[in-house]
Structure 1
Amino acid sequence: MHDDTSDRREREAAARIASLIDDAEVEAEIDGMAAELTAIYRERIPVYDLIARDEIERNTRAVLEMVLRQVRSDSPQINTVELTELARLWSTQQIPLELVAHSIQVGARTLAKVMRERATARGIGPEVIDDLQDIMWHWATSYSAVINTVLQEDAVSLAARRSTFLRRLVEGEFAASALPARLAEHGLRPDVHYSVACADHDDPRFGSDIRAAVRLRCAVRDIPVVDAVVDAHYLALLPHIPDDLAVDALVAVGPAELPANAGSSYRRARHTLDIAARFGRTGIVELADLGALPLLAIDTDTADHLADVHLASLRARGVAGTEIIDTVTAFLRNNCRVDETATALFLHRNTVRNRVGRFTDITGLDLDRTDDLVLTWWLLGRR
């Protein structure tokens, strides 16, 4: 909080800054400063050279006029309402607000240098000059804070728009005639094939670093990745999936489709995600990567009945039956190799052979027969 002394010093410093701007030539001075700052912005800040010079100069002049009104007022405090409205205008003009915040810092340094030179020329003492610079830096910091607030508003708004857009796209709600315009709003093209990526947004392993990697690595020249959170799932349209993209969380992807068929890719990705998550898979996963695991996702009354028929006798044996089931499950996971199963379970190889034999005796499922082997794999995999 400011005390009375600080407020008085701010008012005096503001008055000094105002006195350093010649009232008789103020319009010409502001125009000259706006033109000079615009040239500096376009030279030092990337992307600004792509924005119309007149647009930047007009907005820069608006900020300078705001500063001038402040220093001439009785209470030279930041007018956050006016600056917020101006920042929102810049946003609608497609001027990157993160660069606006940077340009304010550049402008503050330039104006501070001008004020310091003029103050020195008029014989103003160094302590007063320090006060001038302090208040100008205070203003610049406050301006940047306002800009960042609007930037955050825009980010939230954009995320909401993208979320709604992606949900409607994968649900096929857009009419064919309206789709091209909707795609263009988000930088997408109707003639490019995109794979829909899907991940559990609540997965603690799925952090901002993975999201950033997907955005960076899966974009191609002039074709960005468009992503958002939709109903607790992260969705993204990927124009490209590099072979060496590695992530520590589970990201399921569907086949590449035109945007008009994005729903088909999404449904495949969700199906893949559900199965892969059930079996603890991670990385970039397509349905084809799961081998026969999708067969285990079939959950029917017939499957439950078969499990009861074949496994009920083992379950009735309590711990002994569970040991047999666990051993046979590991046996199948190790491609029916006794030695590898024994190593994995810390058992003697004869114990493994004995339990596999007991499984056949009790269930009637002979693992040397293909049909029984496949059925056993399916029943135990579902378990």
Structure 2
Amino acid sequence: MEAIPATPAFGRLLDGLRDSLEELAEQTCAHIYRDVESYERITREALRSAVARNLRTALNALQHELVPRPETLDDAAQTAYERYQEGVPVEDIVRGFRISISLINERFVDLAVSLGLPAQLTVRGSRVMWGVGDAFTTRIITEYHALEVDAALRNAQRRIELVHRLLAGDVPAEAVKLGIDPGRQYAALRAELPAGAHAESVRQRLEARGSRGTHRALVVAEAGQCLGIVVTRPEIEGVPVGLGPFVSPDELPRSDRTARQALKLAQRLGRDGVQSVEDLGWRLAAVSRPDVWQAYYEQFLAPVLEQGAFGEEILATVRAWLANGHSVQRTAEALTVHVNTVRYRLRRYEDLTLAALDDADDVVAITWALELGDPSSYAL
């Protein structure tokens, strides 16, 4: 677009606008204070300074009939930063600028009419004004969003650091400000995020369901996991969660060790939802004794696995026998085989392992070996 001709009338119009800047700034401040409630907290000096910047930007664009690109509007970025720090919502910042541009556009039109500026040039100038408004709005929203993202990232990092301190047994003043009660019991929590899971959604659910009344949980997402402390057991499906015992805040390191182990064991066993000492029972104790686990594996599982497909049939039968209360009849029905087939496989299991299926100690050891599998694939 060709620049608006530098006619004497247009020159006088620009001079008139420049002479009106102080008056327009006062008028704009008055309108903003009246119409935008969130600006009540902004000092008149700060607002006048921002408004003056806005008006100079508009006047410069009008003089050159050139709508600035949003990325060049550093004054808009500065305004966004100042208002963000003062807690003004982005939509109110945009409203404030729209008030500014509307008032200067009204003054432009009034001067254009009084000075006899051709209607075509008046329309072109007015379009420039609103183009400035659009560019300013774009830069404000972009800058404000970047500030929000940056603040959210900083806040998330602070929360992560705080959770790590709590799980280490340290209860800083910041934790108390967030509602963590040093006199209350909490449980450490560790959750593994499944592939494709939305980390923030899982984190929010765990935190909400792990809270009780005014006593709040604190859960963060980090490196594919959710971790934190909860006031109550947070029921959730589709996500493996390890939950430690409820302890005083200074004992949270012990709770966290149990939560880590419970999560690891839950993943090994293919369990999801919350898994605690109550849910995993003896299995948590079992994995803490790799020497005993290895001995049980070598006696009660490895010799049968060496038999290949037939060994798998034997193990499936032993598992079914255990699940059906040691009843050969119910085991046969569950596997849809003859009772003699069940008896034969159970005898072969005893022959291969030297186990006695009527011995309670051996049955415990067999259950341990069958459920937990090869210890070499489990890192403590």
TM-score, with structure 2 as normaliser: 0.74
Cα deviations across residues 253-310 of structure 1 (Å, max 9, x unaligned)? 2233443333233222112111111111111332212233324423423432343234
Q: Which residue of 2 aligns with 1:103?
A: 92
Aligned equivalents of 2:232 and 2:46: distance in 1?
Answer: 39
CA drift at 1:134? 3.9
Q: Does 1:72 align with 2:72?
A: no
Larger mean Cα displacement after TM superposition, 371-380 or 219-228: 219-228
**Contact 1:196–1:266 (CA<8 Å) still a contact in 2?**
yes
SS in 1 for 2:246: coil
Gaps of 5+ in 1: 43-52
Equivalent positions of 1:255-334 (< 5 A) are 255-334=245-324
Amino acid of the structure 2 residue aligned with 1:251: V
With over 3 angstroms needed to count, the CA separation of the structure-2 counterparts of 1:84 and 1:227, relative to structure 1, is farther
CA drift at 1:211? 2.0
Q: Does 1:198 align with 2:196?
A: no
CA drift at 1:213? 2.0
**Contact 1:166–1:230 (CA<8 Å) still a contact in 2?**
no
Q: Which residue of 1 aligns with 2:151?
A: 154
Amino acid of the structure 1 residue aligned with 2:36: T
**Contact 2:193–2:226 (CA<8 Å) still a contact in 1?**
yes
**Contact 1:228–1:235 (CA<8 Å) still a contact in 2?**
yes
Amino acid of the structure 1 residue aligned with 2:89: V
Aligned equivalents of 1:336 and 1:186: distance in 2?
Answer: 53
Aligned equivalents of 1:200 and 1:240: distance in 2?
Answer: 19
Larger radius of gyration: 2
Aligned equivalents of 1:341 and 1:325: distance in 2?
Answer: 12
Equivalent positions of 1:192-271 (< 5 A) are 192-201=184-193, 203-205=195-197, 207-219=199-211, 224-230=216-222, 233-241=225-233, 245-271=235-261
**Contact 2:332–2:339 (CA<8 Å) still a contact in 1?**
yes
Equivalent positions of 1:90-169 (< 5 A) are 95=87, 100-108=89-97, 110-111=99-100, 114=103, 129=126, 131-169=128-166
Q: Which residue of 2 aligns with 1:45?
A: none
Q: Which residue of 1 aligns with 2:33?
A: 35
Q: Which residue of 2 aligns with 1:48?
A: none
Aligned equivalents of 1:130 and 1:157: distance in 2?
Answer: 41
**Contact 1:196–1:262 (CA<8 Å) still a contact in 2?**
yes
With over 3 angstroms needed to count, the CA separation of the structure-2 counterparts of 1:203 and 1:77, relative to structure 1, is closer
Q: Which residue of 2 aligns with 1:49?
A: none
With over 3 angstroms needed to count, the CA separation of the structure-2 counterparts of 1:66 and 1:228, relative to structure 1, is farther
Gaps of 5+ in 2: 5-9, 114-118, 374-380
Aligned equivalents of 1:201 and 1:299: distance in 2?
Answer: 28
Q: Does 1:23 align with 2:21?
A: yes
Equivalent positions of 1:346-357 (< 5 A) are 347-357=337-347
Aligned residues with identical type, % of pairs: 23
CA drift at 1:20? 10
Cα deviations across residues 165-188 of structure 1 (Å, max 9, x unaligned)? 22233123x4xxxx4423246554
